[in-house]
Structure 1
Amino acid sequence: MATAGKVIKCKAAVAWEAGKPLSMEEVEVAPPQAMEVRVKILFTSLCHTDVYFWEAKGQTPMFPRIFGHEAGGIVESVGEGVTELAPGDHVLPVFTGECKECPHCKSAESNMCDLLRINTDRGVMIGDGKSRFSIDGKPIYHFVGTSTFSEYTVMHVGCVAKINPEAPLDKVCVLSCGISTGLGASINVAKPPKGSTVAIFGLGAVGLAAAEGARIAGASRIIGVDLNASRFEEARKFGCTEFVNPKDHTKPVQQGAR
């Protein structure tokens, strides 16, 4: 593309301070360096994790910063050494990246990559310890290696997953976090035996994906637990067979299934 190797100016939602409204700013996005990819973000979702760290809970405050990690986009350019991706590829960011070489990446039981495991306190790129975002020469920090609240972002190649270009990016962007988190928790971590009973607490995006994972695994009873009963009907489509609203019971919730 004509922009390859050049700094791109684009719009981004910048968090200048903890808990303060995000500000739409023109930022400069540097070209990708070795083993990095620059992606044009077309769709991005809001995850509660973004809100949690925007409020600066449970972390070392790091501002100004560009949040966002659940998105879909198209590769604009690639850095030196990147062979598995090319400009024009449709991709999803993956905040729990994979180097594909360390013991964790080669293990079927872990995805906590030695190089790219999630680090919410790191606001720069791994390769050179610098940010690819700036405003008037001053760096803007990254978030979990993705920073998708920007029209363009730079990520390590291990934090980018290539997908079928026919997949609608406005829908599959939630695979970046909500769906993969819940589905993976059921299938890869809990691993419910066929015919088992599963309880899922919270029927938001992650909970619905966990229900779908339990259904795929063959669980016979999938009990959805949520304080919002309006979610129950939709949750049936994802495999839930029965529901518990803790507000409807005086007994402990584990005794409330019916």
Structure 2
Amino acid sequence: MAWSPLKLWDEQTPQRKRRTECGSRDMNKVRRDLGGKKTWAYIQLLWYWLWFLFTCFFLSSFPCTQEMSRNFACRNVRICLGVVTFPVQVPFPFPLLFLQVIKCKAAVLWEANKPFSIEEVEVAPPKAHEVRIKILATGICRSDDHVVTGGLVMPFPIILGHEAAGVVESVGEGVTSLKPGDKVIPLFIPQCGECSACLSSKGNMCIKNDIGSAAGLMADGTSRFTCKGKPIHHFIGTSTFTEYTVVHDTAAVKIDSAAPPEKICLIGCGFSTGYGAALQTAKVEAGSTCAVFGLGGVGLSVIMGCKAAGASRIIAVDINSDKFAKAKELGATDCINPKDYKEPIHKVLIGMTGYGVDYSFEVIGRIETMVAALASCHYNYGVSVIVGVPPAAQNITFDPMLLFSGRTWKGSVFGGWKSKDSVPKLVADYMKKKFVLDPLITHTLPFSKINEGFDLLRAGKSIRSVLTF
């Protein structure tokens, strides 16, 4: 076969190889006319160099084709110059039009109160302003279990999961903030940067968020997941219990590429939700007294936030005394179990503090403890924050005098953080060792053991279980 200065090392079919060989023989006369194989080599190199310049510079100068040129595929190529051979990548015109459906494993919940089923699903390519992400690690959150048990009503079948870290596999048309290869955290609270909520300094609930939506679909009203010929619903715009997922580009943010995914995935929900509830929502002051109801991963993160804010007394409340050692390790000064007292827990806390705590946090999601947390606050200026996801279709009843006297009752979603602005900073703080995540992770399991992870959660034997792929 005639020598060529450029050899493509893609896997070739026999038919393609025969075409290459025939093409080489047919060009022998042209090569002789051009002065031999050395001149022909220079011509070929010049051609590929010009094509490279055209793709990278000329096409990218036009707004209408910039996305296509930026997302062209690259072929592995080996350049031969004399006896020296070295690999390079040369762009070839395979634009977004040719992105393929990916088949992968996902944990599908077909109906409530049933185990997850590991299925092969089809994940469609990202559409305009969407990103397809390869999930590297995902945490099991109590909010996911609320869907399983029916406490949070969502359509079935569905792929749950919302606390994860991954790598961008491909992007849709119009995506400029992310590119393939970026390490990212999916965001169940997006940040479009344009709506009234994003532009306000008072909150973080982007109007484009999908929390509480009964649709379970992407913005165009369709799903990117298919299993056994049936569309599978998305969960709060993330759906991370799968090897690949598709999210809107406002619902993912680039993070430090060196950050360990099996650790920083907790910043996607649990840690940020609790830590921010203390620092962002309640704005705990130095020297204050705090009470935290519920010592799961989020509750322990609240304790970490209170400690970081300089609280002088942090009272941890839980009916599982086995969690007290971890709570004290992370900053709790007192730990109490309501089962050890005959009187209501809010009276116990008032008795411990005089007139009630400065700040209380309900991190369970139970109506009764929400009222108890409010009643445990200082009657005149106490602040109580609801952090746990409330049960669906339930009303709360309380004495309005609890608020009339001066207490403040607040809610907190994702710790009050503006997601795209704050998540990269939180990851950077973790990398600088400003806080720890390891104590929150009690189990690291392969993705196939997702049901075991939920069993540990329900039995109170885990704080955070992380699934790896």
TM-score (norm 1): 0.93
Matching residue of 2:161: 68
- 8 Å contact from structure 1 (residues 226, 244) kept in 2: yes
What secondary structure, in the 3-state scheme, does the structure 2 residue paired with 1:203 have? coil
Confirm or deny that 1:108 pairs with 2:201.
yes
User: Could you tell me the percent identity over the aligned residues?
Assistant: 52
| Other-structure match for 2:331 | 239
The partner residue of 1:41 within 135, 140, 143 is 135
CA deviations on 1:163-197 (whole Å, 9 max, x unpaired) are: 11111101111111110110111111111222110
Residue equivalent to 1:82? 175
Q: Is the 2:130–2:249 contact (alpha carbons within 8 Å) kept by the matching residues of 1?
A: yes
Q: Which residue of 2 aligns with 1:209?
A: 301
- C-alpha deviation, 1:250, in angstroms: 1.7
Q: Which residue type is aligned with residue 72 of structure 1? A: A
CA distance in 2, matches of 1:121, 1:87: 31
Which string of whole-angstrom CA distances, capped at 9 and with x for unpartnered residues, describes residues 176-219 of structure 1?
11101101111111112221101000111001110111111121
Counterparts of 1:125-144 in structure 2, within 5 Å, are 125-126=218-219, 128-144=220-236
Which of 94, 97, 101 is 1:7 aligned to? 101
Per the alignment, residue 292 of structure 2 pairs with 200
Is the contact between residue 103 and residue 121 of structure 2 (CA under 8 Å) also seen in structure 1?
A: yes
Which runs of structure 2 are paired with 1:18-33 in the superposition (5 Å)? 18-33=112-127
DSSP 3-state at the match of 2:126: coil
Cα pair distance change 1:17/1:117, threshold 3 Å: closer
- Gapped regions of structure 1 (runs ≥ 5): none
- 1:134-183 per-position Cα deviation (integer Å, ceiling 9, x unaligned): 12442111111111111000001111122111111011111111101101
Residues 50-104 of structure 1 deviation map (CA, whole Å, 9 limit, x = unaligned): 1111233342x51111111111111101111111111111111111111111111
The residue that corresponds to 2:147 in the other structure is 53
Distance 1:56 1:252 in 2: 29
**Whole-Å separation in 2 of the counterparts to 1:188 and 1:32:** 34
Which structure has the bigger radius of gyration?
A: 2
SS class of match (1:183): helix
Q: Match of 1:183?
A: 275
Q: What is the aligned residue count?
A: 256
**Residues 244 and 256 of structure 1 are in contact (CA less than 8 Å); yes or no, is this contact kept in structure 2?**
no
Provide TM-score, normalisation by structure 2.
Answer: 0.52
- 5+ unaligned residues in a row in structure 2: which ranges? 1-72, 75-95, 353-469
Given that 1:18 and 1:54 are in contact with CA atoms closer than 8 Å, whether structure 2 keeps it comes out as yes
DSSP 3-state at the match of 1:153: strand
The answer as to whether partners of 1:38 and 1:78 remain within 8 angstroms in 2 is yes
- Pairwise CA RMSD: 1.8
1:123 equivalent to 2:216? Answer yes
Report which of the two has the higher share of helix.
2
Shift of 1:255: 4.3
Cα deviation digits, residues 88-132 of structure 1 (max 9, x gap): 111111111111111111222211111125234121101x11100
Q: Distance in 2 between matches of 1:155 and 1:54?
A: 22
For residue 313 of structure 2, what is the amino acid of its counterpart? R
Instruction: Tell me how far apart the structure 2 counterparts of residues 164 and 250 of structure 1 sit (CA, whole Å).
Output: 50
CA distance in 2, matches of 1:58, 1:212: 27
Structure 1 segments of 4+ aligned residues over 4 angstroms from their partners: 1-4
**In 1: Cα distance, 2:342 partner to 2:260 partner:** 45
**1:228 aligned to 2:326?**
no
Aligned CA distance change for structure 1 residues 33 and 24 (closer, same or farther; 3 Å) = same
Distance of 2:107 and 2:245 partners within structure 1: 12
In 1: Cα distance, 2:346 partner to 2:216 partner: 41
1:11, 1:151 within 8 Å by CA — same for their partners in 2? yes
2:344 and 2:156 mapped to 1: Cα distance? 42
* Equivalent residue letter for 2:243: E
